[in-house]
Chains A and B, each alone.
Chain A
């Protein structure tokens, strides 16, 4: 009745709120109203999980969503989750709890978070998934001890202890449950204290400590006011009392209490308690010897157990399904991960390939560069070498050219330009080599003849016919001399109209013949000057080399030429167109050869000098 009044009130308030939701003031007042409604719903829920509360919870959720009151929205989600959970709709309640958690987390509301974790832990306990339940409880514990404000932490810790203790009871670790459920400082929270005391009594009974359990049940920790309001707790209380009575051997009390409780459970959802009560009744009746009743309750107990097992089986199936879908998801995930890994690997491979290509490219470029460098260097070297070779060749050529030029120059300097004969320079440069004694040749043949020739009256020709005519005469004489001498003989233009002929390997008599031939050739040659035939003759003096001057010494070739000149002089002076040839000296010459000039005839005549003449 009161509840429906509240509901109407809430609904009116909400309608009003939505009608005037434009103003900020009404907005805040609406929020306040919603909070009130939430508090009322929470309180109602503590008494019983009434399905009729659901529409209000949903209205609350919608309104708070519209208002943007996220904390209220989360709390309404939690409430609906709790109701659904209580009626076995674990799947949806889990979704709702998670939604609530997702909203609560960013809001930084640790208290709400703890409540959600505890609700989820209860859910996992209902599904007998103790490990998950423990994890959720651990999270709740962490938040309570680290983040929740001290004033709120106390009550939450009591709540946590209740559920942790319940989990230990479910797992059958009764001593742990006893230690956990023992907290006397929660007096102001009557409902919680009563719940804790009942759980604790149950733990005692689980290890057969019925006296302690009875004491607890009788203590003021279990508030009668609370029991009056909360049917489930009332049933639990009676169940615990009946069990204690049974263990104590008070079978009649046990039967009475259990029967009362059992009556309360008809038409309720407390199947677990129902089956436990039936078991107690069966046990009590059996121990009283009333096997008929015992059998009856055992049958009922079996039926309840069957129903419970069915429920459990369904839950387990749900669990398995969830696990299966989770496993499938995981598998998909792992396939995706593998795929990703594969792709990543491929990417890495590609990257590697690219890197390798880069490296190869770089290497190639480097290699190419190296090759270019080597080739360039080689080319440079080759070019250098070639250049050097060219240079060398050029140098060689130049050198050769130079040598040639030098030779030519020498030849020029050794040649008389008019007659083409060698000049005095040439003679001086070669005479030393010519007069070197040659061992292989005959001693007589070793003699060489120095012969001087002078054109007779050449001055007259020049004066009469001009220098050009003189030049022609000179050229012709040179030609005649070339013709009349051997290859090995030296014909030198000695100066002016004077010629020197050196004839190696020649005896005096051969020299006479040669000289005579020259004289005659010149005498007979038909010289034509200015288209006029002229007579040209020459005078010749010759002397042999080496020429003994006494027993010990020989005369030098200069002295021999002077002696030949003396002979020429004599021929000119005495005859012209003649020759005078010295053969040898009978006595060494006392005076200088120059002085012999005048005395030559006398020396011949005296027999001091042996000579031949053409006249």
Chain B
């Protein structure tokens, strides 16, 4: 009997515990938990007020994880968030989300990638609005001549790009730049720049003060005064087919609205270096995608 009571109690606690947790899926390929924990350094993600980077590498993924939790909390979802890495191999991208096996993803997604699944997915307000996402054309640091390439000579430039990264692909296709198509690991693409198979690669501006990107001891810098607008917005997605989907999405979107109103979203993007002040005055290569007009044919 005693054992029974103990068993029931433990089951209940487990159940209670499970109910007190919100499972947020992470694609295994995008598991940044280690850097996420380093950044939090014991803090609660809800207490994070400063988003300045303290770890190496791209920072936006970590910030998104924090912002997601802050938005959910502000929207009324007070349960503790647990990140759950999941393999992403499936017939259709986001099929777990569509089927309702997954509730929510930790990372934001390009709107373009989910437009045909909007019937099955709740799409949050934009975390990164159209026109906010900027990237640079990174060349090797030793290639000084290219670093100062004027915009008029971009037709001389060859850039490696993955056609599956449709937003990058579209952005580059609307410039004079020559594109070498490559489907494969990001590191190989960077190596193509290193070995001068291509001149440059489109990469988020680095968070470091001089925009320098250091990858495994090799250094890369963006072509000066030139930036590219990635022509899409980024959103969090929530499954419509998950029982909690509607509720969680409501909380999330509510919270995001509050964060937007408080200016936390922009602050986070700026402090994290995702929106870099250093390139504020740099020229867009694909300006016409941001401000389309008939005159700007």
Contacts and interface: CB of A to CB of B under 8 A. Distances in A.
B95 A286 contact: yes
A247 B120 contact: no
A242 to B, nearest CB: 11
A179 interface: yes
A171 B174 contact: yes
Interface stretch (B71-79, B250-258, B261-269, B285-293): B285-293
Given A138-B297, A291-B91, A173 B116 contact: no
A250 interface: yes
Interface string B268-297: 000000000000000000101100111001
Contacts of A289: 99
B289 A176 contact: yes
A282 interface: yes
B183 to A, nearest CB: 13
B116 A280 contact: yes
B227 interface: no
Contact of B92 (A205, A207, A246, A294): A294
Interface string A474-495: 0000000000000000000000
B164 interface: no
B294 A179 contact: yes
B59 interface: no
A175 B116 contact: no
B98 interface: yes
A172 interface: yes
Interface in A278-325: 279-280, 282-283, 286-287, 289, 291, 294-295, 298
A251 B116 CA distance: 10
Nearest to A248: B119
Given A138-B297, A282-B92, A287 B111 contact: no
Interface in B85-116: 91-92, 95, 98-99, 111-112, 115-116
A172 B231 contact: yes
Contacts of B28: none
Contacts of A537: none
Nearest to A161: B294
B97 to A, nearest CB: 11
B292 A283 contact: no
B264 to A, nearest CB: 26
A178 interface: yes
Contacts of A249: 118-120
B297 A141 contact: yes
Interface in A94-145: 130-131, 138, 141
A411 to B, nearest CB: 115
Nearest to A172: B170
Contact of A179 (B98, B117, B119, B292): B292
Nearest to B98: A287
Interface string A169-193: 0011111101110000000000000
A283 B173 contact: no
A247 B119 contact: yes
Interface string B160-179: 00000010011001101000
Size bin of chain A's contact surface: 35 or more
Nearest to B291: A175
B92 A171 contact: no
A295 B169 CA distance: 27
B288 A173 contact: yes
A180 to B, nearest CB: 6
B133 to A, nearest CB: 15
Given A171-B173, A172-B169, A286-B91, A208 B118 contact: yes
A274 interface: no
Contacts of B92: 282-283, 286, 294, 298
A532 B170 CA distance: 169
A178 B297 contact: no
A247 B289 contact: no
Contact of A171 (B115, B116, B170): B170
A295 B92 CA distance: 9
Interface string A522-547: 00000000000000000000000000
B291 to A, nearest CB: 9
B169 A208 contact: no
B209 to A, nearest CB: 33
Given A164-B297, A178-B292, A294-B91, A172 B173 contact: yes
Contacts of A194: none
A294 B92 CA distance: 9
Contacts of B174: 171-173
Interface in A194-252: 205-208, 210, 243, 246-251
A180 B92 CA distance: 34
Nearest to B232: A207
B98 A286 contact: yes
Interface of A: 130-131, 138, 141, 164, 171-176, 178-180, 205-208, 210, 243, 246-251, 279-280, 282-283, 286-287, 289, 291, 294-295, 298
Closest 7 CB pairs of A and B: A249-B119, A172-B170, A208-B115, A176-B292, A179-B292, A175-B292, A287-B120
26 contacts: A130-B173, A171-B170, A171-B174, A172-B174, A173-B174, A173-B231, A173-B288, A174-B231, A176-B289, A179-B293, A180-B292, A180-B294, A206-B112, A208-B112, A210-B118, A246-B116, A247-B115, A248-B119, A279-B116, A280-B116, A286-B91, A286-B92, A286-B95, A286-B98, A287-B119, A294-B91
Interface of B: 91-92, 95, 98-99, 111-112, 115-120, 166, 169-170, 173-174, 176, 231, 286, 288-289, 292-294, 297
